[in-house]
Amino acid sequence: MAKKITSRETDYSKWYNEIVVQADLAENSAVRGCMVIKPYGYAIWEKMQSELDKMFKATGHQNAYFPLFVPKSLFEAEEKNAEGFAKECAVVTHYRLKNDEDHPGKLKVDPNAKLEEELVVRPTSEAVIWNTYKNWIQSYRDLPILINQWANVVRWEMRTRLFLRTAEFLWQEGHTAHATRDEALVETKLMNQVYANFVENFMAIPVIQGTKTASERFAGAEETYCIEALMQDGKALQAGTSHFLGQNFAKAFDVKFASDTGSLEYVWATSWGVSTRLIGALIMTHSDDNGLVLPPNLAPDQVVIVPIYKGEEQQRQIAEVAEKIKSDLEQHNIRVKFDNRDKFKPGFKFNEYELKGVPLRIAIGPKDLEQGTVEVARRDTLTKTTLTQQEVLAYVKNELEVMQVSLFEKAKDFRTQHTTRVDDFETFKKILEEKGGFISAHWDGTEATEEAIKNETKATIRCIPLESSLEEGVCVYSGKPSSRRVLFAKAY
């Protein structure tokens, strides 16, 4: 049987890593900073992809695919974007290996196969996409372009953690082109809202929508919208971003269109993305000291049935009941696994599915056979209920819905309890240190103050919440006037 995992209180970071590895979600690979996403982790990602993809298509977007490589000259065209990513670029310089004469059986880079121009492995695709859009856009009739891409990207991070920060990760990146500033702004906000809906309704993670300060913006953006979530250790996690890029990329790549009045104008742009990082957020929002807890909407298996038997005859009889229940549930589109493996004991299986966060576990033993009952255990509350076999379908359907809502509410309560209004810097530091979470405080709007607070406390401004109302006050750090509160936190 798998060993118990480290508790959150003992070592939060270790707890996280152990869940990732022991729940079979992912593991480190032989390549520095790159992870292997294992089948169970990938199945969760597939569920996320499938739902997001539907939402993108429902809002008029189409998928396409652009090259993995960005020639250096394109990469550097939008200067701020280039500057922002230059330090984390994996660079392809050669296109061939050859036998290493000094080490038989080994290969070496062929110096004669040096590329004339180096290729950057895409850290993000604005450059290569806007260089393409240039040829697609002549007139206002060609706009808007609403495209999304599912892809891998590479950012050479020095300190990596499974899902949260990896050198290669999987994501989607939307890249849209518009005739007007207003339309691009509407798109930027719409996609941030799509992300919020997805993360809240599907992943059961409550988020705050807001905009980033200038220093936290995407490199090359004029405004970055974001959704921010709060993890159980009181640290914030940026769960998705949607950027209003203004005309920056259109200018860098000279993308103009003839408007309906005949004038030539630069095109307006947005880009937006979420990544496998969301799986990190999922783990840190819902899981407990027994392992992963999955919201039913996202669970590859929503229900697992474990038989408890002695001997083949009993196994056969229980399997008959289990298969009937499985088939009933599947007819209602519930995802069910019947684990009838003989080489593992029930206790081992119970532990495995608890660790893997399967929402509902149905156990069927000899007594249940006699009495026509089953035992259902709920993963989040760890409560058990005995039901007649006739009651199972209705109970499971209802309980999956209840659990989905309940996980969201629990996380929202946690966030409410860990969001503190603070009006002086001493309290700010104390709250941050002792309680963590979001701190809602006044800020004077200067980068200098933001920087000073960050240096002194490691807290950053997570966002300027969309829903915060104007409120006169003074900056928690400088004492200068401020017209609204912003959200500070330490962050992943």
Which residues contact its own copies (rule: CB under 8 A)?
27, 29-31, 34-39, 42-43, 45-46, 62-72, 74-76, 79, 82, 86-99, 105-107, 109, 118-121, 128, 131-132, 135, 141, 147, 151-152, 154, 156, 168, 170, 343
Going by the DSSP 8-state scheme, the letter that residue 476 receives in this structure is: T
Residue with Cβ nearer its own copies (52 or 128):
128
Q: Which two tokens stand for residue 389?
A: 């076999």
The nearest distance, CB 43 to its own copies, in angstroms, is: 7
As a residue count, the chain comes to 492
Residue with Cβ nearer its own copies (6 or 152):
152
**Rounded (5°) CA angle 437-439-445:** 140
The nearest distance, CB 108 to its own copies, in angstroms, is: 8
The nearest distance, CB 6 to its own copies, in angstroms, is: 21
The nearest distance, CB 233 to its own copies, in angstroms, is: 27
Cα–Cα distance for residue pair 76/123, rounded to 1 Å: 13
Residue with Cβ nearer its own copies (12 or 69):
69
Residue with Cβ nearer its own copies (106 or 332):
106
SS3 283: helix
The nearest distance, CB 32 to its own copies, in angstroms, is: 9
Long-range contacts of 49-52 (CB under 8 A, 24+ apart): 49/150, 49/172, 51/198, 51/202, 51/297, 52/172, 52/198, 52/274
8 Å CB contact between 448 and 200: no
In the chain the first and final C-alpha atoms are separated, in Å, by 32
8 Å CB contact between 134 and 255: yes
Residue with Cβ nearer its own copies (235 or 356):
356
Cα–Cα distances in angstroms (integers) from residue 181 to residues 144, 192, 249, 267, in the given order:
12, 17, 13, 9
Cα–Cα distance for residue pair 281/16, rounded to 1 Å: 11
Let me know if 355 is exposed, middle or buried by CB neighbors in 10 A (0-12, 13-18, 19+): buried
Residue with Cβ nearer its own copies (127 or 459):
127
Angle subtended by helix axes 277-286 and 39-58, to nearest 10: 110
Within a 10 A sphere around the Cβ of 394, how many other Cβ atoms? Answer: 11
Residue with Cβ nearer its own copies (67 or 366):
67
Residue with Cβ nearer its own copies (13 or 62):
62
The nearest distance, CB 204 to its own copies, in angstroms, is: 24
The nearest distance, CB 379 to its own copies, in angstroms, is: 22
Residue with Cβ nearer its own copies (12 or 348):
348
The nearest distance, CB 96 to its own copies, in angstroms, is: 6
Cα–Cα distance for residue pair 486/445, rounded to 1 Å: 10
Main-chain phi, psi angles of 86, to 5 degrees: -55, -35
The nearest distance, CB 349 to its own copies, in angstroms, is: 14
Q: Which two tokens stand for residue 66?
A: 């652009």
Residue with Cβ nearer its own copies (146 or 203):
146
**Rounded (5°) CA angle 301-304-306:** 155
The nearest distance, CB 191 to its own copies, in angstroms, is: 17
Cα–Cα distance for residue pair 290/288, rounded to 1 Å: 5
